Amino acid sequence: MSDIRVSSDALAAFAAFADSLNLTRAAEQLHISQPALHSKLATLSREFGLSLYERIGNRLELTPGGENVARYAREHQQRLEAFLTELHGVPADRPLVTAAGHTAYLYLLGPTIRRMLAERPGSLRPLHTDRTEMQTAVRTGRAHLGISNLHVLPTDLTAVPIASYPQMLLMPESHRLANKKAVRLKDLAGSDLIVPPPARPHRISLERALTDAEVAWNIAVEAEGLPMTLDFATLGVGLAVVAGCVTPAPGLTVRPITDLPVVTFHAVHRPGALDDPRVCALLDTIRNDIRSQPSRVSSAIEVRPSCQRSARPSRETR
């Protein structure tokens, strides 16, 4: 292995390609031709002795080996930029990248994103992802920080709890259960529910809880993502179970479901990521903004500022 000579130029090209998985877009970003980019990727594949990506249908996807090389390529690029910054005093201008879903962006990260982009346009680049995509983006270095409610914590990443919320029943203000201060699962017997597609974590946990409570219910519609869920609820199609951070639209209201567990959102990063003071400051800003948000049901988790903590990964238990 000591005889391997890896081209830094090819690494930088692969890092750009891994961000978009699109040869044309990556070539434009690098200001080179697509054949030149393909040649650099082929060189890198040959130097490492493995396939970096493959075509699946109409998409290009990284192989497991390609994900490892992408992570290394991004770390190499970041170390080089940090060195040049220290050497020449050039301020770091690469945007921080976050990975999160609809709920986190709409109800947790909004104040942080608005202020950061207003103070310094282009300083933050949000990626929209589901839980699995978020962890992959963080794991491969595509994102510096991921935010999501997790049912199972990753063993190779550091997951830091930042806020917990009760699960709420979302319904029209005229619904009979809106007269209650809180509801139990048995109150949902016979209800038409708006639920995610099968095999989604929220769908699985909700179905399990209703089954354990011996509650019969009906599928009103399967909705992909929070915006569609809220749209269907506004149309009066059915009831929905959402996190307590969600703000109901006019004509809708929420009530806590007392026998469902709370939902905890985590910030996820690679071990050692907080060595970068910008990532550390971003995490602390998110925590402080969540803590200051007016909400009747939120429970921000009190922790010491990230930048005063050791950057070593902590052991999280399920």
Do 16 and 84 belong together in one domain?
Answer: yes
Q: Please state the rounded mean pLDDT for residues 257-286.
A: 92
pLDDT value at position 264?
94
pLDDT in tens, 177-220: 999 999 999 999 999 999 999 988 899 999 999 999 999 999 99
Task: Say if residue 216 is in the same domain as residue 72.
Answer: no
Please indicate, yes or no, if residue 285 is contained in any of the structural domains. yes
The alpha carbon of 309 is separated from its chain's Cα centroid by a whole number of angstroms, namely 23
With contact defined as beta carbons under 8 Å apart, do 90 and 77 qualify? Answer: no
Same-domain status, 283 and 252: no
Backbone angles phi and psi of 256, in degrees to 5: -65, 140
Tokens linked to 24: 């044309």
pLDDT score, position 72: 86
User: Residue 318: its pLDDT value, please?
Assistant: 37
| Percent of the chain clearing pLDDT 70 (strictly above) | 86
Over range 65-70, report the average pLDDT. 89
Question: Which comes out higher in pLDDT, residue 92 or 232?
Answer: 232
| C-alpha to C-alpha distances, 256 to 179, 189, 263, nearest whole angstrom | 12, 16, 12
Number of Cβ within 10 Å of residue 76's Cβ equals 16
How many domains would you assign to the chain?
A: 3
Q: Does residue 239 sit in the same domain as residue 277?
A: no
Mean pLDDT, rounded, for 34-44: 88
Would 317 be classed as within a structural domain? no
Q: How confident is residue 305, by pLDDT bands cut at 50, 70 and 90?
A: low
Q: Is residue 250 part of a domain?
A: yes
Tell me, what CATH number does 279's domain have? 3.40.190
Beta strand residue intervals within 36-176, DSSP E? 53-56, 59-62, 96-100, 124-128, 145-149, 158-165, 167-172
Residue scoring higher pLDDT (147 or 133)? 147
Q: In the prediction, which pLDDT does 204 show?
A: 92
CA distance 74 to 80: 10
Please report the beta strands in 18-62, taking only residues with DSSP state E, as ranges in sequence order: 53-56, 59-62
Taking a C-beta distance cutoff of 8 angstroms, is the pair 232, 240 a contact? yes
pLDDT at 4 over 90: no
In a domain? residue 83: yes
For residue 180, the model assigns a pLDDT of: 95
Tell me what the mean pLDDT of segment 115-127 comes to. Answer: 90
Which range has the worst mean pLDDT, 39-48, 95-104, 253-262?
A: 39-48
Residue 70 contacts residue 142 (beta carbons within 8 Å): yes
Kindly report the average pLDDT of the chain as a whole number.
85
Torsion over CA: 211, 213, 215, 221 (sign): negative
Range of the domain at 177: 167-256
Instruction: Give the integer Cα–Cα distance in Å for 244 and 164.
Output: 9
| The pLDDT value given to residue 192 | 96
Query: Is residue 86 predicted with pLDDT exceeding 90?
Result: no
Asked if residue 129 belongs to a domain, the reply is yes
Place of tokens 């130029």: 9
The span from the CA of 111 to the CA of 226, in Å, is 19
Is a pLDDT exceeding 50 seen at residue 43?
yes
Q: What is the CATH number of the domain that holds 183?
A: 3.40.190.10
Q: For residues 132-158, give the mean pLDDT.
A: 90
pLDDT for res 84 = 58
pLDDT at position 291 over 90: no
| Digit-coded pLDDT (tens) for 274-287 | 888 888 999 999 99
Q: What is the CATH number of the domain that holds 52?
A: 1.10.10.10
Please check whether residue 26 lies inside any domain of the structure.
Answer: yes
